[in-house]
Structure 1
Amino acid sequence: MASLVELVREHTALDERGTGHLQRLLASSMLLADLSFSDVLLLVPVQGKEGPAFMVVGQTRPATSQTLYREDLIGRVFESPERPLLTQAWRSGQIVDGERETETGDRARLQCIPVRWDHGVLGILTRESALAVGRRSGELERTYLDIFEKFARMINDGEFPFATQEATTEESPRVGDGVMVLSADGLVEYVSPNAVSALHRIGIHTNAQGAYLADIGFDDTAVRSAVALAAPVTGEVERGADLCLVTYAIPLLKTAKVDGAVVLVRDISDLRRRDRLLLSKDAAIREVHHRVKNNLQTISSVLRLQGRRLASSEARAALEESVRRIGSIALVHETLSRAPEEKVPFDEIVRPLVRTVEEGLLSPDRPVRFEVDGDAGDLPADVATPLAVVLTELLQNAVDHAFPAERSRAGLAEDEVHVRVQLKNEGDVLTVRVHDDGVGLPAGFTPERSGGLGLTIVRTLVAGELGGRMDMRTDGGTLVELTIPLTQSGRR
């Protein structure tokens, strides 16, 4: 579905500033739809078959009432004979009220409001609702409709939406959360039932109607700022550490002067408690990963001490391999201790792994240059941990087996010895390639028949933990290619 900007750019001659005004109006359309209990459409004039026509570039259904439209109307064009009231409002520049027949044959109320800006009319905002036959409106409905009429006048006068309008967020209050209406003098004229409940939750039980907000103990800083700036202002009213209301104060203008205000209120105490709980859990998770990393490093230190006491070179080598494997796992936990999200940037793990191999495995008579290309992106922790161990084993194998002593006797220069790690994240699949320019695989070699512990660990982790597959072949050296699914369905 095309956006407002795309439709306006393709079908009208409006400039960027005019389009921005329409975007701000569309951003406020939920407020207007809920206050008017109506569907709100935003239309711009286009060339029709028989004179002027109007294209729908914005559509908002009310949360406070039923909608007339089940289908999306974005991009639909109404010719002048279909909606004559649109043409009348466009040509006169005045708000036009009337009725129309719906597709089901029922009658609906239609109000057409010219959207004026910068001494011109950019389009038409309509509100459409089913006729209320034989039903008396309550105080809430009458108040909300009266507020909408004030906004309609502001739209027609070019005073709404505001140029400095704030963007809505997840915490932004809506009409259904609670509404307070203030007079030009700042006295409370109306408080909706939900707003009364919100005030009660922060300990304000005084009847607010006819009083100033400050006199009932309500922090009116945001309201006073909105009136002074003649622009909407968001604020918060807190009671202790657990209770919090977010407010959105909108000044009502009349001939460029503030003539009252509408204050939307929402109790976000539960959201704030949830945020604090998440922060607390994040801190706890970071601490757990930090302690796991420290414990793993302690185990590594103990194994190193034990290795120094052993007389058998094979036993010392086995302990050294265990220390390296533990170190690769510790690197993952160190990364998670800094940012305990569900995913970790694997690039922050793979490069320290390579440095560890360089420092621990290489000897002066066997220099090897490592290269890392590509980026694995952010990986789930349950993928990053076994993958770090697998990569450590593959690098260790490359250094131990790819470059035997016969290589130097073959006349190959030392600076030609390379191990290249390539990473490629394709969204649902991660490809890892470890390619050396060594002697390649022995004739008839298969990973399944290899009795080495390193490759056994690699096969087990790749197939069991990662749900992937491994391919080994000779290609100007040894090439190991891992294909690892990143989706849960692919890893089953």
Structure 2
Amino acid sequence: MSLNDSKLHAASLGPGDTEWLHLLMGDWQIIADTAHADIVLWLPDEKNLPDSEHLSAMRAPAFPRHFTSAGQVRPSTVHTVFYRDMVDQEMGEKLLEVVQQVWRHQKTEYLDDTETSDELILRTGVLPLVRHGRTIAVLTIHTELFGLRRPPRIETVYKTVAEDLIQMVKRGAWPEFSASVGTSRGNPRVSDGLLTLDSEGIVNFASPNVSSIYKRLGFSGELEGKQLVEITRNLMSQDETADETLPLVLSGRMPWRGEIKVRNTSVTFRAIPLRQETSLGEERYGAILLCRDVSELRRRELELMTKDATIREIHHRVKNNLQTVSALLRLQSRRMKTGEAKQGLEQAMRRVATIAMVHEALSQGLTQNVDFDELIQRQFHLAAELASPGQHIRTELNGTFGELPSQFATPLALVINEIVANAVEHGLDGETGTVTLTALQSLTAQNERQLTVTICDDGCGMVKYPIEEAGTSAYRENKGREGLGMQIVRTLVASELNGSIRWEPRQPRGTAVTIRAHLTTN
């Protein structure tokens, strides 16, 4: 979960403290999983600090009177001890007393906690988070108290790992700002597989899942006591390449991530160097290595990439076929003897070319959305030119359309093409003039996306009074007063764009056509 910015502001953290707390909350699942514990982050509420302490909060450890829980993480390796959300919960009096001591002395304390949970007696560790000598926050680590028993080795190792991480967190040495943040899916977790290494990269412990992963890679021996870099290198054939930083990851020297692929098995690794404070500074004494088999995940990603490439290729071929149809219509129009037949074929050619441009845009992207601004900039001017060759027409484009789903892009491009052609052919009627296209996106009262497109000309005017049509009214019978283009426009606006169209006279002269399209997909 993420931190609430208002809580961070109230705590008056110093430079870098906020970023470090975000890093901690991005990685504290590892501590929860290895400690088998629930973890809660508590921040001081400075509204409750005495004035003198409020003024010196940035210079020396303050003594807060009140804390607010700002974050919580539950373990994925065992059941949680908190079945209610702990964020914004008040701290019990007994726990508050211990937390205040920890804040002042900056030493970890433990207590048997009967207040925090209504159902369980908890063993709670209170850990101060110290950066640059200042206590900036407190972690409470909660585990359920059990009777005396001998824990298995894996549980003992996990608890040791958790304690190592806790000690680094306490002094602000982990998480590290230099650690790479992986954006690819499949980052390893404790439950996927955990190894512990010494300072030389020799395996001290490997969880059962790690042994299973390496068996799938082709290694059937014991991992413990062997150097992980050599084992992994011997499993890879010469034609299988790995990142040059992989040895640094597998030896635990750097807090990086890596991935290998051996035959059909892909494994990701994440190294967490373990450091202790010495007279020489932070000295590495070992590492934790998390690993995960991501073979199935990578296979699915490859399938998706293949499907995306196939879809783009289909759009490309459709575009080519439509351009061929357009060229055939152009050739046929040149052979027509009558002007009406020639004009009809040219209009069909223009409509086919418009659809082809949408498929061309779809063939160049990874999504089924079209950058309509880029497409309409070419189409708008071209539609005006083709509607009346040799006539001087100015075009103006205002506003932005943004990215539109392909199911809206094709009908909208056709509608704009027909209205622009109509404005040039009938509105300007051979005269020099300007056609203006304006786009505006907004939200309706139902929080649905709405696109308003207005096409204006300064010609002789086509209507004497406003006409608006939507839904079934757009399917009125044609009584011979309009051409095929306007029938196409009314039908597409009503059926494909889920909207309305309005014609109205424009002052001082000309016509304005306004289209309102609802861009909500079912």
Q: Shared fold (TM-score greater than 0.5)?
A: yes
Structure 2: distance between partners of 1:340 and 1:182: 42
Asked if residue 436 in structure 1 is aligned to residue 457 in structure 2, the reply is yes
1:15-50 residue CA offsets vs partner (Å, 9 max, x unmatched): 222222222222221111111111111223335489
Letter of the structure 2 residue corresponding to residue 481 of structure 1: T
Residue 439 of structure 2 is matched in structure 1 by 423
The equivalent residue for 1:315 is 341
Instruction: Give matches, 1:218-257, under 5 Å.
Output: 224-225=247-248, 231-240=254-263, 242-255=264-277, 256-257=282-283
Q: Does the CA-based 8 Å contact 1:52-1:80 persist in structure 2?
A: no
Q: Are the aligned partners of 1:44 and 1:54 in contact in 2 as well (CA < 8 Å)?
A: yes
- The equivalent residue for 1:362 is 388
SS in 1 for 2:187: coil
TM-score of the two chains, using structure 2 as the length reference: 0.85
1:403–1:85 distance in 2 versus 1, CA, 3 Å: same
In structure 2, the partner of 1:452 is 483
Mapped partners of 2:304, 2:176: distance in 1: 35
Conserved in 1, the CA contact under 8 Å of 2:43 and 2:69? yes
**Using the alignment, how far apart are the partners of 1:85 and 1:168 within structure 2?**
37
Q: Which residue of 1 aligns with 2:169?
A: 155
Return the letter of the residue paired with 1:482.
I
Question: What residue number does 1:32 align with?
Answer: 31
Amino acid at match of 2:400: D
Q: How far is the alpha carbon of 1:224 from its aligned partner?
A: 5.0
Instruction: Tell me the equivalent position of 2:521.
Output: 488
Between the aligned residues of both structures, percent identity stands at 32
The aligned counterpart of 2:446 is none
Q: Give the corresponding residue for 2:21.
A: 22
Q: Supply the distance in 2 between the matched residues of 1:135 and 1:356 (Cα, whole angstroms).
A: 82
CA deviation after TM superposition for structure 1 residue 252, in Å: 1.0
**Alpha carbons 2:266, 2:295 under 8 Å: kept:** yes
Aligned pairs (5 A) from 1:308-387: 308-364=334-390, 366-387=391-412
CA separation of 1:307/1:278 partners in 2, compared to 1, >3 Å: closer, same or farther?
Answer: same
1:293 deviation in Å? 1.1
Aligned residues of 1:181 and 1:262 also touching (Cα < 8 A): yes
Instruction: Give the alignment partner of residue 498 of structure 2, picking from 442, 467, 480.
Output: 467
Asked if structure 1 preserves the Cα contact closer than 8 Å seen for 2:385 and 2:393, the reply is no
CA offsets 1:194-240 (integer angstroms, 9 cap, x no match): 22222222222221112111343358975752598964111112213
For residues 71 and 77 of structure 1, do their structure 2 counterparts lie closer, same or farther at Cα, with a shift above 3 Å needed?
Answer: same
* Correspondence for 1:193 among 179, 200, 208: 208
Q: 321-330 or 301-310, which moves further after superposition?
A: 301-310
What letter corresponds to residue 6 of structure 1 in structure 2?
A: S
Q: Retained in 2: the 8 A contact 1:93–1:121?
A: yes
Partner of 1:216: 231
- Cα separation, partners in 2 of 1:314 and 1:382, compared to 1, 3 Å: same
Letter in 1 for 2:363: S
Where do residues 25-424 of structure 1 align in structure 2 (5 Å cutoff)? 25-47=24-46, 48=48, 52-78=65-91, 81-101=94-114, 102-133=116-147, 136-169=150-183, 170-217=185-232, 224-225=247-248, 231-240=254-263, 242-255=264-277, 256-364=282-390, 366-404=391-429, 414=432, 417-424=433-440
CA positional deviation for 1:248: 0.3
Of 150-159 and 324-333, deviating more is 150-159
TM-superposed CA distance for 1:279, in Å, is 2.2
Deviation at 1:89, TM superposition (A): 1.8
Equivalents in 1 of 2:2, 2:171: separation in Å?
29
The TM-score with structure 1 as length reference comes to 0.90
3-state SS, counterpart of residue 91 of structure 2: strand
Q: Equivalents in 2 of 1:280, 1:236: separation in Å?
A: 21
Instruction: For 1:15, give the aligned amino acid.
Output: G
Q: How many residue pairs are counted as aligned between the two chains? A: 477
Q: Contact 2:108–2:125 (CA<8 Å) still a contact in 1?
A: yes
State how far apart, in whole Å, the 2-side matches of 1:246 and 1:2 are.
25
Do the aligned residues in 2 keep the contact of 1:162 with 1:231 (CA within 8 Å)? no
| SS of match in other structure, 1:467 | coil
Describe the shift of the 1:161–1:442 C-alpha distance in structure 2 as closer, same or farther (beyond 3 A).
closer
Change (3 A) 1:390 1:340: farther
Q: Name whichever of 313-322 and 192-201 sits farther off.
A: 192-201
Cα distance, 1:259 vs. partner? 1.5
CA distance change for structure 1 residues 212 and 363 in 2, over 3 Å: closer, same or farther?
closer
Q: How far is the alpha carbon of 1:276 from its aligned partner? A: 2.0
**Unaligned stretches of 5+ in structure 1?**
409-413
The 1:280/1:103 distance shift into structure 2, 3 A limit, reads closer
For 1:340 and 1:177, the matched residues in 2 are separated by: 31
| Closer/same/farther in 2, CA of residues 160 and 80 from structure 1, 3 Å limit | farther
Q: 2:58 is matched with which residue?
A: none
For 1:45 and 1:442, locate their aligned partners in 2 and report how far apart those are by CA, in whole Å.
69
Q: CA deviation at 1:486?
A: 1.1
**Are the equivalent residues in 2 in contact too, given 1:188–1:211 (CA < 8 A)?**
yes
Cα deviation per residue 1:401-428 (whole Å; 9 max; x = unaligned)?
A: 11236xx6xxxxx4xx221111122261
- CA distance change for structure 1 residues 147 and 222 in 2, over 3 Å: closer, same or farther? farther
**What CA distance in whole angstroms lies between the structure 1 residues aligned with 2:189 and 2:166?**
18
Q: Mean Cα displacement is larger for which, 143-152 or 197-206?
A: 197-206
Contact 1:218 1:237 (C-alpha < 8 Å) held by counterparts: no
Q: CA deviation at 1:353?
A: 1.0
Determine if contact 1:222/1:247 at 8 Å carries over to the other structure: no
AA partner of residue 371 (structure 1): E
- CA drift of 1:322 comes to 0.4
Q: Which amino acid aligns with 1:277?
A: E
1:184, CA displacement in angstroms? 3.1
The answer on whether the counterparts of 1:374 and 1:422 sit within 8 Å (CA) in structure 2 is: yes
1:90, distance to aligned residue in structure 2 (A): 1.7
Say if 1:238 and 1:42 are closer, same or farther in 2 by CA, change over 3 A.
same
> C-alpha separation between the residues in 1 aligned to 2:291 and 2:312?
36
8 Å contact 2:246–2:259 — kept in the other structure? no
| Cα deviation code 1:57-82 (max 9, x no counterpart) | 22212212222334433344537555
